[in-house]
Amino acid sequence: LSNEEGSGQELLDLIKGFRRSKVLFTACKLKVFDTLKNGAVLTAEDVAGKINASVCGTEQLLDACAALGLLERTERVGVVGYGNTELASLYLVSEGEHSLHGFVTHYNDHIWDLFTHLESAVQEGTNQFHRVSRRRADDSFKDSFYPSKEAQLQFTRAMHDLTKLGAHAVATAFDLSGFTSACDLGGCTGALAHRLVQEYPHLKVTVFDLPEIIELAPSFQPVGQQAARISFMPAGDFFKDRLPERLYILSIIHDWPDDKC
């Protein structure tokens, strides 16, 4: 390809890239990867019956997932079957140890809708929660993003999944062997805290987050001696409440303007 053709193809990939995301989001939302867990290989008709969808639509979705490397498509004696790839088994089955299913579902149910209003966000200079949730533009992030217990749990699960994925890299980015305590600001379920106490046997970690998030945290925490070195501090406002001098901050400051960060 010439330079012009190559650049044009890159642009086409960018233009059409949203379709790949939506295929992944839809397959997760319909629990396709859960249906094919534990090495199951099923026909499109079998999968359609289990996810309560049309056979033709399911077949096209499964083929799209196969093209993206999320499913393996096999054919034996004229019968086409679908099974999870190693990638899907590791990250997309909802109850897997390293699952990102909750994070994917969160992006499908919330972030996708917000980005459809990106043009308005640029023009107005405001977030678009009010357009998606039909709440006032001046409502808080908390009220707009998880107005119900169900939405709150989904958000918490999404943050837990995301944090687990990068927890080892964050925990080992700096040598904390000389410290005995740490605070994870906005630490949600304590996924990073759990990794920190695994890496540093003498470290105790305090997780600082909203009371309603702290209330959900125990159901995400593994049991064991390490959990005893993790404590949770329910707080209301990290801009006002007293904080330690040194903090771990993960996926927090991008939500705020420079003057608040």
- pLDDT digits 0-9 by tens, 20-68: 999 999 999 999 999 999 999 999 999 999 999 999 999 999 999 999 9
Q: Could you identify the residue written with the tokens 């026909």?
A: 43
Q: Taking the domains of the chain in order of start, what are their residue ranges?
A: 3-91, 167-261
Query: Can you tell me the mean pLDDT for 156-182?
Result: 89
Instruction: Between 93 and 243, name the one with better pLDDT.
Output: 93
Question: What does the pLDDT average to over 155-162?
Answer: 87
Q: What class, spelled out in words, does domain 3-91 have in CATH? A: mainly alpha
Q: What's the pLDDT band for 96 if we cut at 50, 70, 90?
A: confident
What is the residue-averaged pLDDT of the chain? 86
**Active-site residue among 98, 101, 160, 254?**
254
Residue 260, pLDDT above cutoff 90: no
Q: Do domains 3-91 and 167-261 have the same CATH topology?
A: no
Tell which residue, 211, 205, 212, has the closest CA to residue 246: 205
The predicted structure's pLDDT at residue 84:
98
Q: Is the dihedral of CA 95, 99, 103, 104 positive or negative?
A: negative
pLDDT above 90: percentage of residues in the chain: 46
pLDDT at 126: 84
Considering the four listed CATH numbers 3.30.420.40, 3.40.1350.10, 3.40.50.11720, 3.40.50.150, the one that applies to the domain covering 167-261 is 3.40.50.150
Percent of the chain residues past pLDDT 70, beyond the cut: 82
Place of tokens 């200079």: 125
pLDDT band at 7 (very low <50, low <70, confident <90, very high): confident
Least confident of 60-69, 140-149, 154-163, 164-173: 140-149
pLDDT at res. 138: 55
Residue 117 bears catalytic tag: no
The long-range contacts involving 146-152, CB below 8 angstroms and separated by at least 24 positions, are: 152/212, 152/213, 152/216
